[in-house]
A and B are shown apart, each in its own frame.
Chain A
């Protein structure tokens, strides 16, 4: 094993400096990711066999990580292993402390309509949903839904075109926007339209950890783009691109990636940046931590200055999206994974007399 690593990884292999993924292996995330590519490992059992995993079927730490790496690296070939996903990604809803679930439909760029709001109101009444809350990502969260009700809730929401908001995913979450040049007297560009465009382009993509974005129509920054994983600030001369912010356990302002002149360029740069992170990030590592590890300058160099590298990332993201942009809710309304939502049996036994 040591030899294999030395050959495949060259000088970068320093066994003593590695933090292992988990107790099932001595390898770190970087080593595992590089060996998956170098040895073309395309299933979890193959990875565990080739990299000499110490346990027979891994654990709850390494399996979700390996599943993500394989989804990311072999988008057209790998069959997603749902038993290696945490419950919220397996049933496409957020588990709550009492075992019920929350449901957050996508509201593109935070825009909604009378038809959508009326449908949400109807669903809340029909399924007796106890709490309805506006989220920080400009959408509506319905909390306390019984697991058995999820497919029926999604079916009703789907009638007006709602799809999953992936509020549970290590993937693209929200693109928060302000009203921009449509309404605001200070707006310099169509920040709402751009946010919707980014969200429609990138929804469904899996990432090492959650990705939250925002587009602000001017430097007053009403959509708080400068503490997001990726942020765009519209200015008179175009668009300022930001990344690697944080406003959770850690709080950190974004780094400036660069300046571009058109919406198309925004899409290309933001997508390329996200793909670079998808390919290099450790599972559960947010963008700001990845950027610290890789170096902000190196990321800027590859995305802003190296057109060829940027194009490569961009086209690999688009290829991956062909397989990722399937609404998981409508799949399950159509019967996929039915076993997840209904008990295997109901005994209805009386207590022994």
Chain B
């Protein structure tokens, strides 16, 4: 069995997430926000703003960014970096689309738990 492919697991379907929206994935105390952009691109970052831990999954999605619902920090979905004058980075995770299915690389996720 291919070790690499074994690290990817299906976490939902594209249609589970509204366009310009997000859904949460829970793993113990870790919450991952999976975003779907207007162009049906999918990104995953930790659901925790680098500013004051606001749940980014609840923000407004525009372009490839999300605005945090607590204080409007704008976070890039691609690399988790705060945009503009704000500084900070939220952890990002690898996701990919296989047709309609969203796959998350859990190697990264498990590492996160172990190190926590």
Residues of A within 8 A of B72 (CB): 60
Number of interface residues of A (CB under 8 A): 31
Flag the segment in A119-127, A200-208, A337-345 that touches B: A337-345
Residues of B within 8 A of A230 (CB): none
Interface residue? A248 (CB, 8 A): no
Interface residue? B26 (CB, 8 A): yes
Q: A63-B60, A87-B69, A352-B111 are in contact. Are A347 and B27 (CB under 8 A)?
A: yes
Q: Which residue of A lies closest to B34 (CB)?
A: A344
Residues of A within 8 A of B67 (CB): 59-60
Residues of A within 8 A of B59 (CB): 60, 87
As a 0/1 sequence over residues 2 to 28 of chain B, the CB contacts with chain A under 8 angstroms (1 = contact) are 000000010110001111110111111
Residues of A within 8 A of B9 (CB): 347
**With the chains together, A83 CA to B62 CA distance in Å?**
10
As a 0/1 sequence over residues 290 to 302 of chain A, the CB contacts with chain B under 8 angstroms (1 = contact) are 0000000000000
Number of interface residues of B (CB under 8 A): 41
Flag the segment in A35-43, A50-58, A170-178, A309-317 that touches B: A50-58
As a 0/1 sequence over residues 182 to 221 of chain A, the CB contacts with chain B under 8 angstroms (1 = contact) are 0000000000000000000000000000000000000000
Tell which of B21, B27, B53, B55 touches A346, judged by Cβ atoms closer than 8 Å: B27
Decide: A344 and B60 in contact? CB cutoff 8 A. Answer: no
Interface residue? A99 (CB, 8 A): yes
Decide: A58 and B62 in contact? CB cutoff 8 A. Answer: yes
Decide: B23 and A339 in contact? CB cutoff 8 A. Answer: yes
| 8 A Cβ contacts from B90-116 to A | 104, 106-107, 109-111, 113-114
CB B72 to nearest CB in A, in angstroms, measures 6
Decide: B113 and A83 in contact? CB cutoff 8 A. Answer: no
Decide: A57 and B16 in contact? CB cutoff 8 A. Answer: no
CB B30 to nearest CB in A, in angstroms, measures 9
Give 5 A-B contacts (CB < 8 Å), ordered by A residue.
A57-B38, A97-B70, A344-B23, A347-B109, A351-B114
**With the chains together, A63 CA to B66 CA distance in Å?**
13
Q: Which residue of A lies closest to B68 (CB)?
A: A60
Q: Which residue of A lies closest to B38 (CB)?
A: A57
Decide: A347 and B11 in contact? CB cutoff 8 A. Answer: yes
Q: A344-B11, A349-B106 are in contact. Are A95 and B70 (CB under 8 A)?
A: yes
Decide: B106 and A59 in contact? CB cutoff 8 A. Answer: no
| 8 A Cβ contacts from A74-113 to B | 82-88, 90-91, 95, 97, 99
Decide: A343 and B25 in contact? CB cutoff 8 A. Answer: yes
Q: Which residue of B lies closest to A348 (CB)?
A: B27
Residues of A within 8 A of B20 (CB): 57, 83-84
5 A-B pairs with the lowest CB-CB distances in the bound complex, closest first: A60-B67, A344-B23, A347-B27, A87-B58, A60-B60
Tell which of B52, B55, B61, B74 touches A83, judged by Cβ atoms closer than 8 Å: B61
Tell which of B21, B62, B69 touches A63, judged by Cβ atoms closer than 8 Å: B62
**With the chains together, A167 CA to B28 CA distance in Å?**
32
Q: Which residue of A lies closest to B31 (CB)?
A: A343
Decide: A84 and B60 in contact? CB cutoff 8 A. Answer: yes
